[in-house]
Amino acid sequence: MRLPEISRTIEVPDGVAVSIENRKVTVKGEKATLTRDFSHAGVSMEVNGDTVKVWANWPRKKEASLVGTIESHIKNMITGVTKGYTYKMKIVFSHFPITVKVQGRSVMVENFTGERRPRKAKILGDVKVTLETDDIIVQGAALEDVSQTAANIETMTKVTNKDPRVFLDGIYVYERNEGLD
């Protein structure tokens, strides 16, 4: 059974401007400007003053679920341009000391479990990666870019073909925050 309409409304806070043109949503805030293309989705969107409405008329199951998904993406974009996102990662090693460097748009890990060749992880978008003593801090406005960069770093140091209870070396996410420190 199809419902006549499913809609969600998003409140836009002060200091944030949202514009929609051909299902391309642009969110401008004090920290950044984010743009995302939702032209693949069969839903309608409009901006009315300080609210954004996302709806689907006579939706099938896919369109009904896309309404909530797009609402979450727009909320994440608003949070990103106002507060930003921060992931904190811990460098863990037992025997071979790991050396971590940021070179251009990639993170290099040298001497991981005694390997001679460095491992490399890609930094996506406008994400900023900083190194502290045994921490890596990944910051940015786009949640997808920040979380994927942290995942790239974490999976780069995944130990394979060894007992994971014994070989705990790696770089692990230990804290996720809204807001840049």
Tell me: the pLDDT tens digits for 70-113? Answer: 999 999 999 999 999 999 999 999 888 999 999 999 999 999 98
**Burial degree of 55 (CB within 10 A; 0-12, 13-18, 19+):** middle
pLDDT of residue 41: 87
pLDDT, averaged across the chain: 92
- pLDDT reading at 2 higher than 80: no
- pLDDT reading at 58 higher than 90: no
Q: Candidates 1.10.3720.10, 3.30.70.1350, 3.90.930.12, 3.30.1300.30; correct CATH number of 85-178?
A: 3.90.930.12
Q: What does the pLDDT average to over 41-63?
A: 90
- pLDDT reading at 9 higher than 90: yes
Neighbours of 71 (CB within 10 A): 19
Q: For the whole model, what pTM was predicted?
A: 0.89
**Where does CATH 3.90.930.12 sit in the chain?**
5-82, 85-178
CATH number at 5-82 = 3.90.930.12
